[in-house]
Structure 1
Amino acid sequence: MLSPVILKRVLETESTALEAWNRLKNAFQNNKGPRVAALETQFVYLKLRDMPSLEEYCQRLKEIGTQLADLDSPMNEQRLVLQLTRGIPNEYDVTAALINNSLPSWVDVCNMLQSDRDRQAA
């Protein structure tokens, strides 16, 4: 869904849908480099302590990865997993070490961390 500000930029009276699409495409492609740089910075510096919950931390990292892929700067699952472990606090050191040694899938990593969080809370 486009914000009202962007809609006003791309929609013009008497223009076709293709013309509006091309204006929208150009607006985003012209901003591609700076957008990739900003997302990379967010990705590298995001920490669990910056987020309200573990689930939201995992989701935000995944979203940034998806946004980067949309900008032709994809990252593999291994990089997502490694960055996730870099951003978690010391309470998760044992689980992070297991993750770093075996590099499981993204879903498995999120489940492992949730299990560790639940264990700590018990």
Structure 2
Amino acid sequence: MYNTISSDLLHTILEPNTTAYEAWTALENIFQDNKSSRAIHLLHKFLDTSLDGFPNVSAYYQALKVLSDQLGNVGNPVDNERLVLRLISSLNDQYEGIATILQQQDPLPSFYDARSKLILFEIRKAEQALHAAQTAGNRTPC
């Protein structure tokens, strides 16, 4: 796996005769300096993320997972319970039934299991809507 840094950042940390260790230390210091600010920004994004901003549960789940991972990277890990509660609490009214079932489980399901249940629910709702549309289309006027 290859990791890269932006040209701007590379020019910021490199000086003539800089060793790899010195470059790494300079890079680490840059990211440590803004760690708290980054954590605050990520936490706001995490708390403001809701299903309404995404085309489906999978995209919504992925966004929460990325934000959770990024919070962990800045020293503010999100545990499974908090992640699942966030996932459930920011669903829209269409998911009220499944959200109630998920939040009443003790212990809460894993983030992955909650995602799977929500996706199955979403698929079922789409199939029901398709069936209803087909049924409505097959009706003949009197």
- Consecutive unaligned residues of structure 2, counting only runs of 5 or more, are 128-142
1:48-59 → structure 2 map (5 Å cutoff): 48-59=51-62
Aligned partner of 1:107 in structure 2 is 112
Describe how 1:9-48 pairs up with structure 2 within 5 A. 9-48=12-51
Partners of 2:48 and 2:21 lie apart in 1 by 38
Q: Percent identity?
A: 34
Partner in structure 1 of residue 122 of structure 2 = 117
Q: Tell me the TM-score normalized by structure 2.
A: 0.82
Counterpart amino acid of residue 26 in structure 2: R
Tell me whether 1:3 sits opposite 2:2 in the alignment.
no
Shift of residue 52 of structure 1? 3.2
User: Which residue of 2 is the match for residue 68 of structure 1?
Assistant: 71
Moved over 3 A (4+): none
Question: Aligned pair 1:88/2:124, yes or no?
Answer: no
Q: CA deviation at 1:13?
A: 2.6
C-alpha separation between the residues in 2 aligned to 1:99 and 1:13?
57
Q: Deviations over 1:6-33 (max 9, x none)?
A: 2222222310111110111000000011
Distance in 1 (alpha carbons) for counterparts of 2:122 and 2:77: 29
TM-score (norm 1): 0.94
The one-letter code sitting in structure 2 at the alignment partner of 1:19 is E
